[in-house]
Chain A
Amino acid sequence: MSRRILLIGWDALLDVARHKMLSVHLIFVLIALGLFNLFGHFETSPMLEYRMVQDVGISVISLFGLLLTLFIGVSTLREDLNRRTAYAVLTLPIARWEFYVGKLLGTLAAVVVNVAVMIAIFAGLLWLKFGAVWHTFFWIILFMTMEFSIIGSLVLLFSLADSTVLCFSFTIFLVIMGNLAEYVRHLAAEAGWPALDALVSAAYLVIPNFAYFNIKARIIKELTISTGLVGWAAAYGAVYVLCVVAAGIWIMERQDL
């Protein structure tokens, strides 16, 4: 069982790696990160320059990481269904849930590799320019990976819908709502209606709260990250992905392929 899942996952990862879209994205990332040299002309202070470069670089990685996750998530399962290759695979003694979980693992592996590559490029450029890189980059990789894993699993779930546009729309909507979670909760609490507060709290059980994964500000400001936060964030990411996978399997088992 696990061998079949891993095989499908590996195949999905190779499929993503072969995709031209990935290369184009990585070139965009390189250009965007390379542009940080333009900030050198300020020469205000080494600290400010480093900070500006780092801010811009991490934001670029965050933005491109989101786009990459979206494209990877859509291409792995949706394209297989569109091209009918999934049907050929499913005629083999492979359960639908195994196929789905394999695709998810492949997607997540591709996302992790992409984030790691972008961070490595950025860290290399920082090293070239400043001769130093914060070791806290590790935390950025970890939290970004958790965030993109949730997004990846959501894209895969939504890619079971018939339309790619719907898949994109749902995912983007959830990403925005997830990033605004703390503010929506705050506003609901301030409204003074307990029912609304309860409704929003329930909604944010379903909608992922990405604010918890946004530690860029803390890294950039050289603040410490407690192991407790890391542990809870990892647990939240894992359980959320499990829930999404369960929902995806449930839908896929009932889909009329």
Chain B
Amino acid sequence: MNGRWRQGILFVVLVAALALVTHGLREAWRQETAGVASRSSLQVLASADPDAEPDTDGHAPGGEPGHPPGHDHEPGHEHGPGPGHGHPGNHDHDHDDDHGPGPAGADQPDHDHPAPEPTPPAGHEHVGEGHDHDHGHQHAHAPNAILHELLPGDGPHVHVHGPGCGHAHALADEQTETGGPAISNGLILILEHLGMRELAANLLWIQMDADSHRGLWHRVEFALELIPAIDPHFVEAYLLLAYVQDMNKQFDRSLATLRAGARNNPWRSELPIQIGVQCFNHTGRHGPGRDLPAALDAFTQACRLSDCPGYAFRLRAITLVASGRRDEAIAWLEQVKNMPDRSELDREMDRKLLDRFRKGEEW
């Protein structure tokens, strides 16, 4: 066999090997990134329609949207800023320690209406509790086994994470929303696929912060719409955008933004908690329009996640009481209180809330 033949055979072998490993790697990559990283950005690009109907997935049977028709223009709406937040004009990002373990009122016995307050966006809240893992610790995505037994069957958006299971497979085919204007597809493609997606999103966040201090709110909102389109995992941007939209009385868009964020980040509890708070609507702020089944779904989803803060369990119990399921709420909170990994502070709060449940307090 002469040299030319040997070279030919070597060439064929190398090409075959390359084709094989390319195929194998492609399949491995597809499984690894199913739903979140691989398809979401293209879907974000396709879905940036400001007039898009808010999604109502995840609501209880009956499929009521989060707010009744005409809700956006309901007179008498009062949208006070969330705890620690001033008016957007005085927007400040230093709120880390302003909040206790739960939404204001939820754990205070002397409060008349201890239903959940609208919480400000992440980066502004409950850093002190339940978020200690952010430094150097890898998320354990497997849910607490006890919790899994306590919670009812999987809701429409619940995704249980186990090590190596990948993420959001159930969400892969769902439309992603940002509730924002159309954004230059080319810019996003170039940034994302030159490996600079996160950098671009962070730089925009910095620009947004500077703009907020200068009162350039139109630019702030645009930046907040652009950031999740570039980096679908930038949870803080979804939360702040939803907050700004809520302040502008765009309640359905706000909810749609949060739901888009929850779809793209099904392992983060902040988003379902905020969805639950928005749907719960305390003290008649949204009047009879509050959507308790949706709130319950959202809190249930949050409670399944490993990074769920302690107060989310109480929020779920409160929602059960508000839904007329007091006995169930008491039984649930009793079980939660006895969970071995429950902190002493949370147990104390749980006890106080249980007392109020038993006294017949209404929400």
Residues of A at under 8 Å CB distance from B?
39, 42-48, 50-52, 55-56, 58-59, 62, 130-136, 176, 179-180, 182-183, 186, 204-205, 209-212, 214, 216-218, 220-226, 228-229, 231-233, 235-236, 239-240, 242-243, 246, 250
Cβ 8 A contact of A59, one of B21, B25, B93, B196 = B196
Q: Report whether B202 and A229 are in contact in the complex, using a CB–CB cutoff of 8 Å.
A: no
* B108 at the binding interface (Cβ < 8 Å): no
Give residues of chain B (1-49) contacting chain A, Cβ–Cβ below 8 Å. 7, 10-11, 14-15, 17-19, 21-22, 24-29, 31-33, 37-38, 42
| CB closest residue in chain A, given B136 | A132
Question: What is the distance, in angstroms, from A9's C-beta to the closest C-beta of chain B?
Answer: 22
Chain A residue numbers with a CB within 8 Å of B136 are: 130, 132-135
Which positions 195-230 of chain B face chain A at CB distance < 8 Å? 195-199, 201-202, 205-206, 209
CB-nearest residue of chain B relative to A48?
Answer: B123
**Residue numbers in A under 8 Å from B141 (CB-CB):** 224
Inter-chain contact B14/A243, CB cutoff 8 Å: yes
Whether B94 is near chain A, meaning CB under 8 Å from some CB there, is yes
B11, B96, B197, B236: the one contacting A217 at CB < 8 Å is: B197
**Would you call B138 and A135 a contact (CB within 8 A)?**
yes
Residues of B within 8 A of A47 (CB): 123, 127, 131, 134-135
Chain B nearest CB from A95 CB (Å) reads 13
A212 contacts across to B, CB distance below 8 A: 25-26, 29
Note all chain B residues with C-beta closer than 8 A to A222: 138-139
Interface contact B202-A246, CB-CB below 8 Å: no
Can you show 10 pairs from A to B with CB atoms below 8 A apart?
A: A44-B93, A48-B123, A52-B205, A56-B199, A131-B135, A179-B193, A182-B38, A209-B26, A239-B21, A240-B18
Q: Is the CB of A44 within 8 A of B28?
A: no
Give the residue name and chain of the B residue nearest to A38 (CB). B206
Cross-chain contact A220 with B198 (CB below 8 angstroms):
yes
Given known contacts A133-B136, A240-B18, is B29 in contact with A44 (CB within 8 Å)? no
Using a CB–CB cutoff of 8 Å, the interface residues on chain B facing chain A are 7, 10-11, 14-15, 17-19, 21-22, 24-29, 31-33, 37-38, 42, 93-94, 96, 122-124, 127, 131, 134-139, 141, 163-164, 166-167, 189, 193-199, 201-202, 205-206, 209, 231, 233, 236
User: What would 20 more interface pairs be, CB under 8 Å, given A46-B131, A205-B19, A218-B37?
Assistant: A42-B206, A42-B209, A45-B134, A47-B134, A50-B135, A62-B195, A182-B38, A205-B15, A209-B22, A216-B195, A220-B233, A221-B233, A224-B164, A226-B28, A232-B28, A233-B25, A235-B24, A239-B18, A240-B18, A242-B14
Which residues of chain B are near A44, meaning CB under 8 Å? 93-94, 96, 123-124, 236
Decide: A183 and B22 in contact? CB cutoff 8 A: no
In whole angstroms, what is the CA distance A67 to B196 when docked? 15
- B28 touching A45 by the CB < 8 A rule? no
Given contacts A42-B209, A239-B17, contact A55 B195 (CB under 8 A): no
- Chain A residues within 8 Å of B193, by CB: 179-180, 182-183, 211
- Distance (Å) between the CB of A197 and the closest chain B CB? 14
* A to B contact number (C-beta, < 8 Å): 154
- Would you call A46 and B194 a contact (CB within 8 A)? no
Chain A to chain B: the 3 pairs with minimum beta-carbon distance, closest first: A132-B136, A47-B134, A55-B198
Q: Give the one of A46, A130, A136 with max B CB within 10 A.
A: A46
Bound-state CA distance A92–B31 (Å) is: 51
Chain A contacts for B31, CB-based, 8 A: 226, 228-229
What are the residues of chain B within 8 A of A176 when measuring CB–CB? 194
A217 surroundings in chain B (CB, below 8 A): 37, 197-198, 231, 233
Write the nearest CB–CB distance from B124 to chain A, whole angstroms. 7
Given A56-B202, A229-B28, A239-B21, also A224-B135 (CB < 8 A): no
Q: How far is the CB of B149 from chain A (nearest CB, A)?
A: 24
Asked if A46 meets B122 with Cβ closer than 8 Å, knowing A55-B198, A212-B25, A233-B25, the reply is: no
**CA separation between A18 and B231, bound complex, in Å?**
40
Contact of B21 (CB < 8 Å), options: A52, A132, A183, A236: A236
Contacts of A233 in B (CB 8 A): 25, 28
Closest to A176 in B: B194
Please tell me if the beta carbons of A42 and B93 are within 8 angstroms of each other in the complex: yes
The chain B residue sitting closest to A209, CB to CB, is B22
Residue of A nearest to B199 (CB): A59
Beta-carbon nearest neighbor of B3 in chain A: A253
Residue of B25, B122, B123 touching A235 (CB-CB under 8 A)? B25
Whether A229 contacts B163 by the Cβ 8 Å rule is: no
Nearest CB in chain A to that of B196: its residue: A59
Once bound together, how far apart are the Cα atoms of A183 and B194, in whole Å? 12
